[in-house]
């Protein structure tokens, strides 16, 4: 390939005005997706990216072969029982998509998982049916994604949605599994999800408005044209998104409508599908809730069942509480805070924490009304209570991690009737398949947690009658496991552990969590992962698992002097600390929407670790790791805490001698892409490179435009700059596109002209972060006065999640990893 120059976009100034603020946008013309100028620039960007990445092709192939060699390509999931069938999915070597299969239940009383050979051809087992073959359905499409499936109770009627462009708009179809053919009607361009009623007669689905906001629910009679469908609900408030589903007991069609801070649930009995939806609890501004239904069998005064509603809400507790309502007393609507409280979260540090608002958010919570296992928990957030016929599970967050507890149904009913805290036992599995249920004396309470870093949660429990609980478990070093626990018998069985082929051994890798003291004094947890023997400084550090080790002295971090002549593997001297040489580091983060970045295993990550790369994950504010207060401290007018936490964590790891700044590469996507853009402007001297995936880098322009997807509902997350000048100027001060520094400005501010190399990925059909944001950012970074080295890879047929098909996704992932390794000196150098 001949040399291709970095494309330089033409400028066409356009002034953006809002309140008392103005901004001249030289590249606003790129928002015209169908203009020839935009198409030409996109093509030039892709050609340049392909040229830049050419030296990495051999590395990419090497990484792809590594990844593929570690994955069991012909595999299957553990069958899940629902109604009269066991459902499972198969993958086959060489096939891009999964194949959904099922076999009939032969004994109603037999809940043991059927033994199925993963190497069998799909459909070859006696009684096995292929429900949906993604490979056959995807033929002829460059992009293919399923937008949910819903099955009638008798297993005959399948509702499914497909998206073939990436814009997250799905065409719904109803398939008769007896004949294998779709019915003639198609419901086009609807939101993800939708359900078919248990009798297979009706479909309920959501549609979108001009801003692509799911705003309405419709009813469709199966076997009739979609033009005859009836709108049954409309949400007028533009902050709210609407979705529709089926209650766990399959007795109600459920509409959920919610903003970022307020929610409401409406119900319709499935026996009266043409009736009206009724609010379970009328909405109240600033209050979120969800509801499920069950019963306490034989718990009434003279033996009848007690029908109950399980309500998870934050009316009086920002970190949520769970109430059980005895539904014998009256019908809907019910009231928030009605019923018996089973568990409630911590109020420490929360905006609505009352007398606890100004106390540290990680203060130990001691509430005598709570179950014993919650006593002393820090950052306690209550997430779920799932009730089955034989057991009940409690999901919660404490000490920065997800937790899962269980109680037998019999014990729960006794505690409920006695009006005492429920005697839950925490599930604490060990990687070899054994489990340990915490004692009720508090010795294994969150105040004295196991040091392991892990993620745990319920998984594959669709049947109320199931006698055993399924849960999943994983960590940074342990591949995902699926367990089956019998709470009544106390037995725990490992159903499946994800296989990593080759010579992988979990014990070859180490993980730990340290704390970084941020510039405002907050303690930020940072997870670290590395291969033993390849990151000497961390081997010498001597800590594994959760620690109380705090890295401080952020302000003393040196301003590293990046130069083109410095070898990539020439680590800076860590003066006076006596530590081994620092290592290359891949550091990633998110920090938005109260989403927690929990420990998880990744096969592809092994290719970084096996080359001596330190993997770091700062759990920055804006996420939900430490509860609602952690989220509140990283949103709206506190958003800069997210960026500062990430920067301070990076600097602390470099200052400690763990990471080499000249080989530090950062990565984040979507809202994490905003984080990447911000750190590039705020601390360019700390990073050799930054990969920004579908980055939200022109945040202010987007949030000012109510006609765009997401904008109005996003005001609860970021603030409303259109009607509040204070929010406008705050966002103006950090929005990456508007704060790119010139070479001269970097020299004055940081004492160096260094700017990290930037690799951008985006998709033209992305409806969450429009392609125009990263495209304009790339153009601005390429200006001579900025002097940044940047390239962008733009998918023409894809959406927010990138391309589809597992092999295509692996290829794209391996290119991204190759780019990161190149900047770390672990792969051929590229020139931009």
| Active-site residue set | 670, 766, 800
- DSSP string of 174-216? EEETTTTEEEEEEEEEE-S--EE-TTSSEEEEEEE-TT--EEE
Residues contacting 231, CB < 8 A, separation 6+:
216, 217, 218, 219
Alpha-carbon gap, residue 605 to 427, rounded angstroms: 28
The rounded distance, in Å, linking the Cα atoms of 271 and 283 is 25
Q: How far apart are CA 715 and CA 636, in angstroms?
A: 8
* DSSP state, residue 28: G
Secondary structure (H, E, C), 357-423? CCCCCCCEECCCCCCHHHCCEECCEEEEEEECCCEEEEEEEECCEEEEEEEEHHHHHHHHHHCCCCC
- Own/partner long-range contacts of 424-430 (Cβ < 8 Å, ≥24 apart): 424/371, 424/372, 424/373, 424/394, 425/373, 426/373, 427/456, 427/471, 427/485, 429/454, 429/456, 429/471, 429/473, 429/481, 429/483, 429/492
Q: Nearest 5°: CA angle at 41, between 35 and 46?
A: 130
Buried-exposed string 666-696: b where 16+ CB fall within 10 A, e elsewhere: bbbbbbbbbbbbbbbbbbbbbbbbbbbbbbb
Side-chain half-sphere exposure of 795, counting CA atoms within 13 A: 24
Q: What is the DSSP string of 760-777?
A: EEEETT-SSS-THHHHHH
Q: How far apart are CA 763 and CA 808, in angstroms?
A: 15
Asked if 315 and 337 touch (Cβ cutoff 8 Å), the reply is: yes
For the chain, helix, strand, coil in percent to 5 are 20, 30, 45
Residue 156 tokens read as 């005959």
Q: Is the bond preceding 333 in cis, omega lying within 30 degrees of 0?
A: yes
Which among 233, 227, 180, 181 is positioned nearest to 204, based on CA atoms? 233
- Measuring CA to CA, which residue among 524, 588, 584, 585 is closest to residue 551? 524
What's the rounded Cα separation, in Å, for the pair 794 and 778? 11
Instruction: Name the nearest CA neighbour of 218 among 207, 209, 208, 210.
Output: 207
Tokens at residue 615, please? 């993997």
* Burial letters 789-806, b for 16+ CB under 10 A, else e: bbbbbbbeebbbbbbbbe
The neighbour count for residue 495, using CB atoms within 10 Å, is 17
Nearest of 773, 780, 818, 810 to residue 794 by alpha carbon: 773
**Dihedral, CA atoms, 205, 210, 213, 217, nearest 10 degrees?**
-20
Question: DSSP class of residue 503?
Answer: S
């Amino acid at each position: 390939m001949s040399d291709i120059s970095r494309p330089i976009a033409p400028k066409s100034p356009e002034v953006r005005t809002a309140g008392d603020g103005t901004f001249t946008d030289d590249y606003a013309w790129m928002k015209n997706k169908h203009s020839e100028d935009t198409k030409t620039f996109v093509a030039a960007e892709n050609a340049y990216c392909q040229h830049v990445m050419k030296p990495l092709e051999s590395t990419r192939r090497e990484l792809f072969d590594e990844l593929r060699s570690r994955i069991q390509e012909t595999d299957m999931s553990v069958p899940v029982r629902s109604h009269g069938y066991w459902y499972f999915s198969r993958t086959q070597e060489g096939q891009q998509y999964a194949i959904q299969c099922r076999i009939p239940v032969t004994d109603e009383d037999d809940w043991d998982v059927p033994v199925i050979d993963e190497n069998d051809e799909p459909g070859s087992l006696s009684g096995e049916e292929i429900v949906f073959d993604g490979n056959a359905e995807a033929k002829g499409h460059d992009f293919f994604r399923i937008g949910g499936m819903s099955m009638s109770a008798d297993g005959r009627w399948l509702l499914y949605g497909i998206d073939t462009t990436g814009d997250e708009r799905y065409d719904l179809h109803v398939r008769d599994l007896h004949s294998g053919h779709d019915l003639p009607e198609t419901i086009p361009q609807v939101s993800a999800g939708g359900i078919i009623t248990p009798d297979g007669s009706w479909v309920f689905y959501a549609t979108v408005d001009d801003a692509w906001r799911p705003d309405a629910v419709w009813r469709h009679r199966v076997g009739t044209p979609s033009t005859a469908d009836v709108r049954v609900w409309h949400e007028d408030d533009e902050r709210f998104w609407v979705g529709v589903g089926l209650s766990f007991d399959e007795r109600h069609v459920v509409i959920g409508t919610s903003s970022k801070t307020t929610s409401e649930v409406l119900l319709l009995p499935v026996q009266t599908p043409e009736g009206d939806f009724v609010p379970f609890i009328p909405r109240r501004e600033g209050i979120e809730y969800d509801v499920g239904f069950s019963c306490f069998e034989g718990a009434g005064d003279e033996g009848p069942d007690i029908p109950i509603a399980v309500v998870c809400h934050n009316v009086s507790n920002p970190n949520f509480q769970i109430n059980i309502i005895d539904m014998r007393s009256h019908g809907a609507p019910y009231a928030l805070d009605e019923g018996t409280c089973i568990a409630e979260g911590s109020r420490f540090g929360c905006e609505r924490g009352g007398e606890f608002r100004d106390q540290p958010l990680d203060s130990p919570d001691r509430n005598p009304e709570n179950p014993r296992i919650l006593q002393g928990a820090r950052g306690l957030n209550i997430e779920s209570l799932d009730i089955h016929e034989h057991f009940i599970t409690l999901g919660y967050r404490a000490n920065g991690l997800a937790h899962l507890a269980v109680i037998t149904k019999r014990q729960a009913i006794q505690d409920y009737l006695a009006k005492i805290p429920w005697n839950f036992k925490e599930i604490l599995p060990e990687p070899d398949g054994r489990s340990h249920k915490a004692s009720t004396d508090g010795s294994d309470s969150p105040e004295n947690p196991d040091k392991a870093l892990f993620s745990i949660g319920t998984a594959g429990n669709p049947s109320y009658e199931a006698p055993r609980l399924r849960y999943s478990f994983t960590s940074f070093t342990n591949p995902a496991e699926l367990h089956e626990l019998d709470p009544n018998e106390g037995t725990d069985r490992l159903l499946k552990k994800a296989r990593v082929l080759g010579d992988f051994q979990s014990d070859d890798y180490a993980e730990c969590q340290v704390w970084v003291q941020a510039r405002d004094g907050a303690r930020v947890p940072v997870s670290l992962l590395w291969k033993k023997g390849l990151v000497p400084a961390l081997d010498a550090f001597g800590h594994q698992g959760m620690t109380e080790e705090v890295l401080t002295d952020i302000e003393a971090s040196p301003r590293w002097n990046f130069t083109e002549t410095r070898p990539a593997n020439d680590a800076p001297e860590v003066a006076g600390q006596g530590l081994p040489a620092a290592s290359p580091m891949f550091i990633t983060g998110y920090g938005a929407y109260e989403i927690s970045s929990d420990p998880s295993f990744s096969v592809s990550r092994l290719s970084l670790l096996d080359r001596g790369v330190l993997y770091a994950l700062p759990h920055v504010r804006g996420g939900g790791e430490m509860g609602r207060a952690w989220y509140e401290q990283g949103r709206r007018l506190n958003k800069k805490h997210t960026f500062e936490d990430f920067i301070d964590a990076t600097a602390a790891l470099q200052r400690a001698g763990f990471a080499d700044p000249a080989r530090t590469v950062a990565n984040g996507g979507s809202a994490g892409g905003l984080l990447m853009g911000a750190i590039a402007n705020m601390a360019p001297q700390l990073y050799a490179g930054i990969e920004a995936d579908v980055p939200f880098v022109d945040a202010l322009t987007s949030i000012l435009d109510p006609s765009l997807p997401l904008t109005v509902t996003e005001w609860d997350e970021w603030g409303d700059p259109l009607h509040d000048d204070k929010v406008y100027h705050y966002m103006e001060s950090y929005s990456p596109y508007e704060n790119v520094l010139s070479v001269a400005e970097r020299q004055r501010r940081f004492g160096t002209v260094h700017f990290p190399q930037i690799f951008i990925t985006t998709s033209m059909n992305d409806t969450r972060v429009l392609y125009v944001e990263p495209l304009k950012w790339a153009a601005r970074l390429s200006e001579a006065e900025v002097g940044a080295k940047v390239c962008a890879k733009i998918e023409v047929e894809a959406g927010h999640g990138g391309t589809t098909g597992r092999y295509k996704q692996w290829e794209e992932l391996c290119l991204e990893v190759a780019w990161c390794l190149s900047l770390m000196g672990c792969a051929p150098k590229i020139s931009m």
